[in-house]
Amino acid sequence: MSRDKKLLSTKDIVLIPMFTALIAVGAFIKIPLPTCPLTLQWFFVMCAGILLGSKKGALSALMYVLLGLFGLPIFTGGGGFWYVTKPTFGYFIGFVLCAFLIGLMTERKMNLYAACAIGTVILYVIGSAYGYVILNFFTEGDGMKLGALVFTFMVLPLPGDIIKVILAAFVGGRVRKVIKS
């Protein structure tokens, strides 16, 4: 690599932590819905992928996860390494991968709505699989049957996530146009 080529520009050094902060704040912005509360974390993860691209969007989401694991109380239930034992931690793993994939699809000129929808499906698969393993193999009790898990981890949050997909694609698309001009 040449000396003139920087790994991260000043703009990147500002935007990556800014999206990390937005993801963290999004955990505490809750909109009550009849099925389950809607937070804005996933919205900001999708926007990070759209606006920062694959690698920088994933880095922003990874920073969020690492800060929470290191003890900053930025997860909805606090912070700390013990959070990996929570059934919903799989969604945080999914945030990193999905920010990367949404960014990659965006870089390859895929429709933003489709990229966010595909990212949401992948997030559901990762989050649900992790939750299933934690609930059925690492906790006491009867665990959770697959049907109940799908209902809880996918069906209940789906209406809110559809709204977030539409908003992230719309807002991300508009902001990208402004940034490029």
For 16, 25, 108, 150, the CA distances from 167, given in Å and listed in that order, are 20, 17, 20, 24
Distance of CA 62 to the CA centre of its chain: 10
- What is the sign, positive or negative, of the torsion defined by CA atoms of 5, 11, 60, 67? positive
Q: In whole angstroms, how large is the CA radius of gyration of the chain? A: 17
CATH topology for 10-175 is: Arp2/3 complex 21 kDa subunit ARPC3 (1.10.1760)
Distance of CA 81 to the CA centre of its chain: 18
pLDDT, one tens digit per residue, over 59-100 is: 999 999 999 999 999 998 899 999 999 999 999 999 999 999
Question: At residue 139, does pLDDT exceed 90?
Answer: no
pLDDT, one tens digit per residue, over 155-178 is: 989 999 999 999 999 999 999 988
pLDDT at 35: 57
Which residue intervals of the chain are DSSP H helices?
Answer: 10-26, 41-52, 54-69, 89-107, 112-137, 146-150, 158-180
Q: Which residue has the tokens 């709505």?
A: 113
Q: Residue 53 phi/psi, 5° resolution?
A: 95, 180
pLDDT, one tens digit per residue, over 8-46 is: 899 999 999 999 999 999 999 987 766 566 799 999 999
- Its pTM stands at 0.92
